[in-house]
């Protein structure tokens, strides 16, 4: 049994799909940025200023958090691969992106089910902006009902902007699930979205009332 759920496309209906492709290799292969990163890993921080900002104003820095979950997660961002193994519940990565559209794919998988959690934050001199957040399971296993609830929750975001004080839109959000042996917990998930990074710099901290009708 397989299903696909689409967000942001109106009344799209579930349809049958082909089996999902294999996940990437179990390693991180990416250009990581900032003082918290070294080699193929980065330290997590609760203080956005510790992650630094790009020296060039032509790019913007983003924090990508995978987890907390007990299982593996993969995220591809363009040609980059970010991998969270089972050794740590949460992995953080910092990457610099230029203005334009960047395809993101999140993969969760497990024979008996899995949990998938993803947070993407745009960083600026004014702090962090919650560009996108997804969670299904963690604690517990991801269920089809949680995916349906997540789809319903997207209606509160106007114009596909999750944080209007930032400068990034979410486009083309969709996901596919694999087999569901018990009819409740999918064994595979592929979530896709596009980060549309605008070329202006955020001017206010997250939550500022002047941002309500921005771009």
pTM, to two decimals: 0.90
Residue with the larger pLDDT of the pair 95 and 111: 95
pLDDT for res 9: 41
Compute the average pLDDT of residues 7-20.
Answer: 51
Weakest-pLDDT range from 82-86, 93-97, 155-159, 193-197 = 155-159
Q: What percent of the chain has pLDDT over 70?
A: 91
pLDDT interval class at 8 (50, 70, 90): very low
Residue with the larger pLDDT of the pair 183 and 152: 152
Spatial contact of 175 and 147, defined as CB atoms under 8 Å apart:
yes
Going from the C-alpha of 28 to that of each of 12, 41, 57, 81, the distances in angstroms are 34, 8, 26, 5
pLDDT interval class at 215 (50, 70, 90): low
């Amino acid at each position: 049994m397989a299903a696909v759920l689409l967000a942001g496309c109106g009344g799209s209906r579930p349809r049958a799909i082909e089996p999902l492709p294999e996940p990437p290799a179990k390693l991180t292969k990416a250009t990581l940025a900032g003082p918290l990163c070294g080699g193929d890993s980065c330290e997590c921080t609760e203080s956005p200023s510790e992650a630094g900002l790009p020296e060039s104003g032509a790019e913007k820095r983003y924090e990508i958090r995978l987890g907390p979950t007990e299982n593996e997660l993969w995220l591809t961002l363009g040609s980059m691969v970010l991998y969270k193994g089972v050794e740590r519940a949460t992995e953080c990565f910092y990457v610099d992106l230029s203005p334009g559209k960047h395809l993101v794919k999140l993969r969760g998988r497990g024979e008996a089910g899995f949990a998938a959690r993803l947070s993407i934050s745009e960083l600026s001199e004014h702090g962090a902006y919650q560009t996108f957040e997804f969670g299904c399971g963690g604690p517990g296993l991801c269920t089809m009902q949680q995916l349906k609830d997540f789809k319903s929750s997207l209606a509160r975001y106007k114009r596909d902007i999750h944080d209007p004080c930032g400068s990034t839109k979410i486009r083309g959000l969709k996901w596919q699930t694999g087999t569901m042996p018990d009819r409740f917990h999918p064994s595979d998930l592929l979530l896709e979205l596009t980060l549309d990074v605008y070329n202006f710099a955020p001017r206010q901290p997250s939550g500022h009332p002047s941002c309500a009708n921005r771009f």
